[in-house]
A = this chain, B = another copy of it.
């Protein structure tokens, strides 16, 4: 087995992932847990990290590179922001050093300091780095779905503009805390792709009506019957369709939208883009963040 060269950590709001990586970028060991920023703020960031480092038998001198919410004001050590227009190369250069013996650094986020469209990201900049590289020549429109979906315009390796949509969090709040909780009770996700696509199309065509289309998940059941699965797809499709209407409202590059996502979200958004006839270039989000961390680690420690 080759020697480990560094440890890469993606430390989000609610999840923690760690990779032990060799000089060639190969993963030697991996850890995943739900000790995200919120849990780690209680348990203590150093203790959480050290437990995982011990579990993969990381040597004491091995450097650690972190991206994500651990760098937020409410995280471990505040890592600041690179402001838009933000060269992805600048992200590599502004990592914050965590005080202590081990060389631990946290990558900064990106901030859009516009009065009319303030926005922030933390973690997605590293995914962008891994997905597009430092010198992505042409213009890319990137969709990164999630709790807080990001839509990003990148040109020549520079993040020009981005917008955050609370789509995932809205889905969670609406499905649990409104009358729609009754309509969708018992439904599993992705049971009815046709209903999902129909809801995406409706909301994409009339996004102003999103709060009305959501209610039809309930009224359709009252008047015409219909399963909880259909209601759930209506809810999910409506929120994603409205997001697409906004995200796709500007110029869409010829190659389509770069979709950085993993697992069920990747599948769901591919259905959604298909429903509105937009081509996507899919990139796995897990791979992207690991590759981004590798690029950053190489830049920081192999100068």
Instruction: Pick from B163, B166, B180, B216: contact of A118, CB below 8 A.
Output: B216
Give Cα distance in the complex from A243 to B208, angstroms: 7
Copies of this chain in the oligomer: 2
On whether A148 and B215 interact (CB within 8 A), knowing A120-B222, A177-B172, the answer reads yes
Residues in B whose Cβ lies below 8 Å from that of A211: 165-167, 170, 239, 242-243, 246
Chain B nearest CB: distance from A112 CB in Å?
A: 8
Residues in B whose Cβ lies below 8 Å from that of A220: 118
Residues in B whose Cβ lies below 8 Å from that of A216: 117-119
Q: Are B172 and A246 in contact (CB under 8 A)?
A: no
On whether A224 and B148 interact (CB within 8 A), knowing A164-B219, A215-B165, A219-B164, the answer reads no
Q: Are B223 and A163 in contact (CB under 8 A)?
A: no
Give Cα distance in the complex from A208 to B205, angstroms: 10
Say whether A67 faces chain B, with CB atoms less than 8 Å apart.
no
Q: Are B242 and A164 in contact (CB under 8 A)?
A: no
Q: Are B120 and A210 in contact (CB under 8 A)?
A: no
Q: Are A166 and B246 in contact (CB under 8 A)?
A: no
Instruction: Kindly report which residue of chain B lies nearest to residue A244, judged by CB atoms.
Output: B208
On whether A206 and B119 interact (CB within 8 A), knowing A170-B174, A211-B170, the answer reads no
Residues in B whose Cβ lies below 8 Å from that of A119: 215-216, 219
Residues in B whose Cβ lies below 8 Å from that of A212: 163-166, 246
Give Cα distance in the complex from A144 to B196, angstroms: 30
Residues in B whose Cβ lies below 8 Å from that of A243: 211
Contact code string A230-271 (vs B, CB < 8 Å = 1, else 0): 000000000100110110010000000000000000000000
Q: Are A208 and B242 in contact (CB under 8 A)?
A: yes
Residues in B whose Cβ lies below 8 Å from that of A180: 166
Q: Are B166 and A170 in contact (CB under 8 A)?
A: no
Give Cα distance in the complex from A245 to B212, angstroms: 12
Say whether A115 faces chain B, with CB atoms less than 8 Å apart.
yes
Say whether A57 faces chain B, with CB atoms less than 8 Å apart.
no
Instruction: Kindly report which residue of chain B lies nearest to residue A249, judged by CB atoms.
Output: B208
On whether A246 and B209 interact (CB within 8 A), knowing A111-B223, A173-B173, A222-B120, the answer reads yes
Instruction: Pick from B112, B117, B120, B215: contact of A166, CB below 8 A.
Output: B215
B-contacting residues, A21-67, CB 8 Å: none
Say whether A176 faces chain B, with CB atoms less than 8 Å apart.
yes
Say whether A113 faces chain B, with CB atoms less than 8 Å apart.
yes
Say whether A214 faces chain B, with CB atoms less than 8 Å apart.
yes
What 10 pairs across the A-B complex have the smallest Cβ distances?
A207-B208, A173-B177, A208-B246, A208-B245, A165-B211, A173-B173, A118-B219, A118-B220, A164-B215, A169-B178
16 more contacts with CB within 8 A, not counting A118-B223, A172-B177, are A112-B219, A115-B224, A117-B216, A118-B222, A118-B224, A148-B179, A148-B215, A166-B180, A166-B211, A170-B178, A173-B174, A176-B177, A206-B246, A208-B242, A209-B246, A211-B239
